[in-house]
């Protein structure tokens, strides 16, 4: 089964961790517009794409007992300009300078970590997320957009970029495309704003599944009325980007192994990887054809 996973942050890493044991052909396309933390410092200094979410997703597929997997997550402490930088981010930056493209840098880190799945940036080119408010004010940068007090009227990228050809081919050849979970504005939408990714999503015969967050967002996305995130996002994008929605209620309905399962994870804002694996395995094995998508959407998925 050919699977494509789109997004960023902790949410996409969880999905990849859940899918890893299911032995499928997986391609992850990761947002590169983060401008906070170690990633933001590197972007400001080197005018590069965001490597933090890419590092996190690679490591979610790597052998956790690999020494490089352990040290790639290590952050420098009391080290001057290196303080708070994740070593994995620096490795990716260094590899990109040697190989000349982020895609090649990611490939070689995956080789070093024996990651068999394909990890791709949403683009090899540098761009940022940009929001336009109702009064015409333009705000650039994910961190700045997250703290807005009103929902943007428009979301764009500061400069148009193209996704790598491998990403487009993966979407067109996929059986399933999973998007999310994660911050809607700053993890999921940046990838979907790339024009050739939009075209591929419109053309693919894959079943496109939007995975909702386990809990409400605390960013500006919390202002979306009735938490209808997917409808708001479709309006921003100008097309319906999903066939099915996998919300938390649907996840619980599809996992009846333990009646008290929800009690085990109440304190976490993230989906449980074991539960995600159980539910995604059911969806993949059911392999709904496009003609059956609407029926499945009505019966099972929010």
* pLDDT averaged over every residue in the chain: 89
User: Count of H helices and E strands in the chain?
Assistant: 15, 9
- What is the percent of the chain where pLDDT is above 90? 68
Predicted confidence (pLDDT) per residue in 39-52, tens digit: 999 999 999 999 99
Query: What is the 3-state composition of the chain as percent helix, strand, coil, each rounded to the nearest 5?
Result: 50, 15, 35
Identify the pLDDT of residue 114.
93
Burial of 121 (0-12, 13-18, 19+ CB in 10 A): buried
CA dist., res. 278 & res. 81, Å (int): 43
**Which domains occur in the chain, in start order?**
2-299 (3.40.50.10680)
Taking phi over 0 as left and psi of -120 to 50 as alpha, with beta for the rest, 106 belongs to alpha
**CA-CA distance, 273 to 6, in Å (whole number)?**
17
- At 300 the pLDDT is 46
What confidence tens digit (pLDDT) does each residue in 268-283 have? Answer: 678 889 889 989 998 8
Strand ranges (E), 68-168: 118-121, 129-132, 138-140, 154-157
* pLDDT tens readout for residues 50-106: 999 999 999 999 998 889 998 888 887 766 677 778 899 999 999 999 998 999 999
């Amino acid at each position: 089964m050919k699977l494509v996973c789109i997004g960023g942050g902790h949410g996409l890493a969880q999905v990849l961790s859940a899918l890893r044991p299911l032995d499928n052909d997986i391609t992850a396309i990761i947002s590169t517009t983060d401008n906070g933390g170690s990633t933001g410092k590197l972007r400001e200094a080197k005018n590069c794409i965001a490597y933090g979410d890419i590092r996190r997703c690679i490591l979610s597929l790597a052998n956790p007992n690999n020494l490089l997997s352990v040290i790639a997550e290590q952050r420098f402490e009391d080290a001057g300009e290196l303080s708070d930088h994740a070593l994995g981010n620096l490795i990716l930056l260094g590899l990109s300078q040697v190989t000349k493209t982020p895609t090649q840098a990611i490939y070689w880190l995956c080789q070093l970590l024996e990651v068999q799945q394909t990890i791709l940036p949403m683009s090899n080119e540098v761009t940022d997320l940009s929001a336009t408010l109702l009064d015409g004010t333009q705000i650039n940068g994910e961190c700045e957009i997250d703290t807005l007090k009103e929902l943007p009227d428009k979301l764009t990228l500061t400069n148009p970029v193209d996704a790598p050809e491998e990403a487009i081919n993966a979407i067109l050849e996929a059986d399933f495309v999973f998007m999310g979970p994660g911050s809607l504005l700053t993890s999921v939408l940046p990838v979907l704003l790339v024009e050739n990714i939009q075209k591929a999503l419109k053309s693919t015969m894959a079943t496109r599944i939007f995975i909702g967050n386990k809990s409400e967002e605390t960013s500006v996305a919390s202002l979306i009325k009735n938490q209808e995130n997917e409808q708001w996002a479709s309006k921003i994008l100008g097309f319906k980007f999903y066939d099915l929605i996998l919300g938390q209620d649907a996840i619980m309905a599809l996992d009846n192994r333990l009646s008290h399962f929800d009690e085990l994870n109440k304190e976490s804002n993230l989906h449980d990887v074991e539960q995600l694996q159980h539910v995604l395995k059911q969806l993949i094995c059911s392999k709904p054809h496009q003609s059956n998508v609407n029926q499945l959407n009505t019966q099972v998925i929010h």
